Amino acid sequence: MELVVKELGVARGGVRVLEGLSFVLGAGQALILRGPNGSGKTTLLRVLAGLQPSVAGRISVSRDSVAYASHADGIKGQLSVAENLHFWARLHAERDITRALEAFDLRALQDRLAGALSAGQKRRLGLARLMVTGRPLWLLDEPTVSLDSEAVALFGAAIEAHLQRGGMAVIATHIDLGLTSARVLDVTPFRARRPVGDAFDEAFL
């Protein structure tokens, strides 16, 4: 299991934002995406998750092996924490949600309606969802938003455990996660240049 990205170009709203991006991620490795606001990290992750087509290059990974966690968490406020997790677990043909509940310290909250959680608690639930997908490649967009330092540590431990089991992770973030083993990729150098000349067709993209 490997993620190979070759000369990838991605676009958003009809404008290229990144191009010529290549990297290889082996089993048990993590990659941290960095770059200033608006540099295209979210766009890149959505392309990797198969939610959006790339405009150039190749990605070696099948859609069935990725679990994507975006800014929005996909949590139903009217269902309890456990019900939310159960649903995603059954959808991915997994049974067990206790490991996920434990990993993010949600045991005490499991019967609470998800709508009555604080911002950080909601985020923890969103991250716990990743653990019940059974997917090897995690794509995380700013996962630690609104988490306190304790929860950030839990998150770090969950990632490490996932990598240990041969999983992979691509994480876009602005702050330091304390993942010592992870490689860092700054996307700034891959920012798409303006096309030279006035290539009419290209302006269509």
Partner 1 sequence: MASIWEYANPRKFLETSDRVLPWLAALAGVALVVGLVWGFFFTPDDYRQGSTVKIIYLHVPSALIAINGWLMMLVASLIWLIRRHHVSALAARAAAPIGATMTVIALLTGAIWGQPMWGTWWAWDPRLTSFLILFLFYLGYIALWAAVEDDDTAADLTSILCLVGSVFAVLSRYAVNFWNQGLHQGASLSMDKADNVANVFYLPLLVCMAAFVLLFLALVLLRTQTEIRARRMRALLARERMS
Partner 2 sequence: MIALLMRDLRLAVRAGGGFGLGLAFFLIVVALVPFSVGPETALLARIAPGVLWLGALLACLLSLDRILALDWEDGSLDLLATAPIPLEGIVSVKALAHWITTALPLVIAAPVLGVLLSLPAQGYLWLIVSLLVGTPALSVIGTFGAALTVGIKRGGLLLSLLVLPLYVPVLIFGAEVARRGAEGQAVQVHLLLLGAITCGAMALLPFASAAVLRVNLR
Summarize as ranges the residues that interact with a second copy (CB under 8 A).
13, 35-38, 42, 71, 116-121, 124, 142, 145-151, 174-175
Rank residues 27 and 152 by Cβ distance to a second copy and give the closer one. 152
Q: Which residues contact 141 (CB under 8 A, 6 or more apart)?
A: 41, 42, 45, 68, 69, 70, 71, 172
Residues that bind partner 2 (CB under 8 A): 46, 49-53, 63-64, 66-68, 70-79, 83, 87-88, 90-93, 129, 133
Write each residue from 161 to 200 as x if it is in contact with partner 1 (CB under 8 A), else as -, in one continuous string.
-------------------------------x-x-----x
Q: How far is the CB of 198 from partner 2 (least distance, A)?
A: 28
Q: How far is the CB of 13 from a second copy (least distance, A)?
A: 5
- Residues in region 74-133 near partner 1 by CB under 8 A: 108-109, 111-113, 115-116
Q: What is the 3-state secondary structure (H, E, C) of the chain?
A: CEEEEEEEEEEECCEEEEEEEEEEEECCCEEEEECCCCCCHHHHHHHHCCCCCCCEEEECCCHHHEEEECCCCCCCCCCEHHHHHHHHHHHCCCCCCHHHHHHCCCHHHCCCEHHHCCHHHHHHHHHHHHHCCCCCEEEEECCCCCCCHHHHHHHHHHHHHHHHCCCEEEEECCCCCCCCCCEEEECHHHECCCCCCCCHHHHHC
Binds 110: which of partner 2, partner 1, a second copy, none (CB < 5-8 Å by kind): none
Q: How far is the CB of 165 from ligand ATP (least distance, A)?
A: 28
- Residues in region 90-109 near Mg ion by CB under 5 A: none
- The residues binding partner 1 (CB under 8 A) are 13-17, 108-109, 111-113, 115-116, 192, 194, 200-201, 203-205
